[in-house]
Amino acid sequence: MDPDDLEPRKKTVEPKNLEPMSVEELQSYIAELEAEIRRARSAITGKEGWRAGAEALFRK
């Protein structure tokens, strides 16, 4: 069992109200979201690397 499975799942985040935001605020918000996406993709890559290493170890 993966230790991550033992942690409680986070609730989904409510969508932000974009209507009152200016163009500059929206661009900044998009930049923040893109940075978070890159961070999540990096975490996925790292976890896949660990998994591949473990699978290679146990195949021997």
Distance between CA atoms of 44 and 24, rounded to whole angstroms?
30
Distance CA 56, CA 16 (A): 43
pLDDT at 60: 61
In a domain, 33, yes or no: yes
pLDDT tens profile 15-46: 999 999 999 999 999 999 999 999 999 999 99
DSSP 44: H
More confident residue, 52 or 44: 44
Classify residue 10 as left (phi > 0), alpha (psi -120 to 50) or beta: beta
Name the residue range of residue 33's domain: 21-60
Confirm whether 29 is domain-assigned: yes
With beta carbons less than 8 A apart as the criterion, state whether 16 and 29 touch.
yes
Can you count the helices (H) and strands (E) in the chain?
A: 1, 0
Q: Is residue 7 in a domain? A: no
